[in-house]
Every structure is written in structure tokens, then in C-alpha cells.
Amino acid sequence: MAKTILDIQGLRKTYGQNEVLKGVDCSVQEGEVISIIGSSGSGKTTMLRCVNMLEEFEGGKISLDGEEIGYHVDGSTRRRKSEKEIARQRALTGMAFQQFNLFPHMTAAENVMLGLVKVKKMSKPEARAVADTWLDRVGLATRTNHYPGQLSGGQQQRVAIARAIAMAPRLMLFDEVTSALDPELVGEVLQVIKGLAADGMTMLLVTHEMRFAYEVSSRVIFMNQGVICEEGDPKDMFVRPKTDRLAEFLKTSSFN
């Protein structure tokens, strides 16, 4: 029986008067690769950011490996956990974004080493060995001492992914990691993600690359106006959508 890594129940989030997540339920089993698709503003990024505690949320609960994330929930009362506790929990997930957010004054290897030394308390030589291993895995063995400014966008994104994965997260979150890249650089980044999927990494990825979602996902989630509107096997979702909304969305997307 697969183990539940992530369990989201009744997640609600508002920005001012604007309710952007209106009760999201989602459970992710170990080794699953889930693509989240949906139109702009449907709440995809917000959902990932809540899982990583980059956003506070007002309702529902999120558990990771059975631990409640961010809040102690007891009946109708909820209390935010301490910052120290939240920092520890945040390290259980790795996240990669559209913007790579690498430190420009640090080499590729130093960017990957930073969290290993600061958060995982590794010695520098240990951290360097881990960084080299992951940079090699993402095809950058010959670029470890390059600065971000000396790397292409696709290479920078691969450093950012290596940096997140090197921390050995239980779950990886990807938010449109190819959206800022020139088209010819998209493939190399998707290839890295495919490799991680093949290795059994549990992943939740927001993407506009429908063909990629179709090929790589064990399950696809379609978000619409702050709720999960439809979910299922990619073959059913893309070929035989059940809801009109998904059918409409697919017509305007890149899948064909």
C-alpha cells in the first residue's frame, strides 16, 4: 500500500476579500507525479505556496508525512506553529519556481551547498560532494564553478532544481519552471524532471506544458476558480474530459 505523503483537506485561502482557494482536497501518495493545470488565476501557485508555508491560510489543513503543516489544529481552534518549527517543516518540501532565484555572486556549486551547510549542518567538503553529485545528475558536471551570469537560463534552472533536490525533500513542488525559458531550453529542464520522476521522487508540478503533463504524470489535477474541478489519469483527462470547463481549457491550451 502506497504511503500518503501529502494530505490537503478543505484548504481555504483569501487575499483581502478575494477567496482564491475555496476548499481544496488533495492527497498525494509516495512516488506520485501530479500535474496541476488550469487557467491563470485559478489558484495553482497559491496552493503550492500554502504547502510550503510561504502563504498563511485560513481554513483546512495540510499534512506532510502525517505532520500538520504550519498550524496546530484542534477542533475549531488553530494556532500557528513556532517559526523554528515552520522552518523545519518547510525543509521537508523542495520548491522550484519560474524565477530561478540563484545568488549571482555564488557559483553553481556554492548555490547548491548553501542550504546543505546552513540548514543541514554539513561540513563544506561533504556539502560539496553532494552538490557535485546533483549537478552531475542535472547534466552540469562541467559547470559547477560557473556563476549564474555565465550560465544559460536552462542551466540556471537546472542548478535551482539541483539545489532543491540536494536537500532530500519528501516532496518536490515545481511552479512553471519552464515558463521563463526560451523555447529551445525547455526540453533540457523537462528532461531533468522526467529523470526525477523515473527515480520515484514524489512531485506536484504546475505546468502549462500539456504534452509534458500527459507524458510524465500519474495523475492530473485541473483547477478552476479556486477548487479542483476535475482530476484523474492523464489519458482520460486529456482525451476524454468529463467537465465542459476542462474541455474548454484544453481547447485553448498547447495540447493537441
Which residues are at the interface with Mg ion (CB under 5 A)? 45
Q: What is the closest distance, in whole angstroms, from the C-beta atom of residue 31 to Mg ion in the complex?
A: 25
Site size with ligand ATP, rule: CB under 6 A: 10
Question: In terms of CB distance, is 154 or 226 closer to ligand ATP?
Answer: 226
15 lies in the binding site for ligand ATP (CB under 6 A)? yes
Question: In terms of CB distance, is 45 or 111 closer to ligand ATP?
Answer: 45
- Binds ligand ATP (CB under 6 A): choice among 11, 20, 165, 246: 20
Q: What is the closest distance, in whole angstroms, from the C-beta atom of residue 95 to ligand ATP in the complex?
A: 13
Question: In terms of CB distance, is 1 or 15 closer to ligand ATP?
Answer: 15
Contact set for ligand ATP, span 35-54 (CB under 6 A): 38, 40-46
Question: In terms of CB distance, is 132 or 175 closer to Mg ion?
Answer: 175
Q: Phi then psi for 63, rounded to 5 degrees?
A: -120, 140
Question: In terms of CB distance, is 69 or 135 closer to ligand ATP?
Answer: 69
Q: What is the closest distance, in whole angstroms, from the C-beta atom of residue 168 to Mg ion in the complex?
A: 26
Q: What is the closest distance, in whole angstroms, from the C-beta atom of residue 55 to ligand ATP in the complex?
A: 8
- Helix H, strand E, coil C: the string for the chain is CCCEEEEEEEEEEEECCEEEEEEEEEEEECCCEEEEECCCCCCHHHHHHHHCCCCCCCEEEEEECCEECCEEEECCEEEECCHHHHHHHHCCEEEECCCCCCCCCCCHHHHHHHHHHHCCCCCHHHHHHHHHHHHHHCCCHHHCCCCHHHCCHHHHHHHHHHHHHHCCCCEEEEECCCCCCCHHHHHHHHHHHHHHHHCCCCEEEECCCHHHHHHHCCEEEEEECCEEEEEECHHHHHHCCCCHHHHHHHHHCCCC
Q: Which does 20 bind (CB under 5 to 8 A by kind): ligand ATP, Mg ion, none?
A: ligand ATP
Contact set for ligand ATP, span 188-247 (CB under 6 A): none
Q: Which residues bind ligand ATP (CB under 6 A)?
A: 15, 20, 38, 40-46
